[in-house]
Amino acid sequence: MLGVIRTGRKVVLGVSGGIAAYKACSLLRLFTESGYDVTVVPTAAALSFVGAPTWAALSGKPVSSDVWTHAHEVPHVRLGQHADLVIVAPATADLMARAAHGLADDLLTNVLLTARCPVVLAPAMHTEMWQNPATVANVATLRSRGVLVIDPVSGRLTGADTGPGRLPEPEHIFSVCNQLLSQVEADPQPGPLAGRRVVISAGGTREPLDPVRFLGNRSSGKQGYALAEVAVARGAQVTLVSANVTLPVPDGVRLELVQSAVELGEAVAKAAQDADVVVMAAAVADYRPAHYADVKMKKSFGLADGADGFDGSDADQSGPTIELVRNPDVLAELVRSRGSATSPVIVGFAAETGDGEHSVLDLAREKFVRKGCDVMVANEVGADKTFGQDTNTVHILQRGVDAVTRAGPASKASVAASVWDVVEDVLFSG
Ligand code: CTP
Q: What is the pLDDT of residues 109-152, one digit of tens each?
A: 999 999 988 999 999 999 999 999 999 999 999 998 888 999 99
**SS3 of residue 135 by DSSP:** helix
For the cut 60, the answer to whether the pLDDT of residue 409 exceeds it is yes
**pTM for this entry:** 0.60
Answer whether 355 contacts ligand 1 (Cβ < 6 A): no
Q: Is the pLDDT of residue 303 over 60?
A: no
379 is catalytic: no
Give me the mean pLDDT over the 63-80 stretch: 84
Rounded CA-CA distance 357/363 in Å is 10
Amino acid 299: pLDDT: 77
Cβ burial of 203 (10 Å; 0-12, 13-18, 19+) is buried
**Quick one: which of 117, 122, 114 has its CA closest to 181?**
117
Number of H-type helices and E-type strands within the chain: 14, 19
Dist CA 307 CA 284 (whole Å): 29
Helix, strand or coil, per DSSP, at residue 140: helix
Report the nearest-CA residue for atom 9 of ligand 1: 331
* 63/15 Cα distance (integer angstroms): 11
**Which of 284, 334, 360 has the most ligand 1 atoms within 8 A of CB, as the residue to mutate?**
284
The mean of the pLDDT values for the chain is 89
CA 358 to ligand 1 centroid distance, Å: 18
Ligand 1 site, residue 282, Cβ cutoff 6 A: yes
pLDDT digit string (tens) for 184-203? 776 655 688 888 999 999 99
> Does 331 sit in the ligand 1 pocket, CB within 6 Å?
yes
Compute, in angstroms, the gap from residue 3 CA to the centroid of ligand 1. Answer: 53
Angle between helices 360-371 and 330-338 (to 10 degrees): 40
Q: What are phi and psi of 148, to 5 degrees?
A: -90, 110
Q: Is the beta carbon of 360 within 6 A of some atom in ligand 1?
A: no
Half-sphere exposure of 29 (CA within 13 A, CB side): 8
Over the stretch 218-242, which tens digit does the pLDDT of each residue have? 999 999 999 999 998 888 989 999 9
Query: Parallel, antiparallel, or unpaired: how do β-strands 207-210 and 213-215 relate?
Result: antiparallel
What is the bridge-based pairing of β-strands 207-210 and 197-203?
unpaired
The strand pairing partners of 239, in sequence order, are 199, 254
Residue of 110, 138, 217, 244 marked catalytic: 217
> How high is the pLDDT of residue 200?
98
CB 201 within 8 A of CB 243: yes
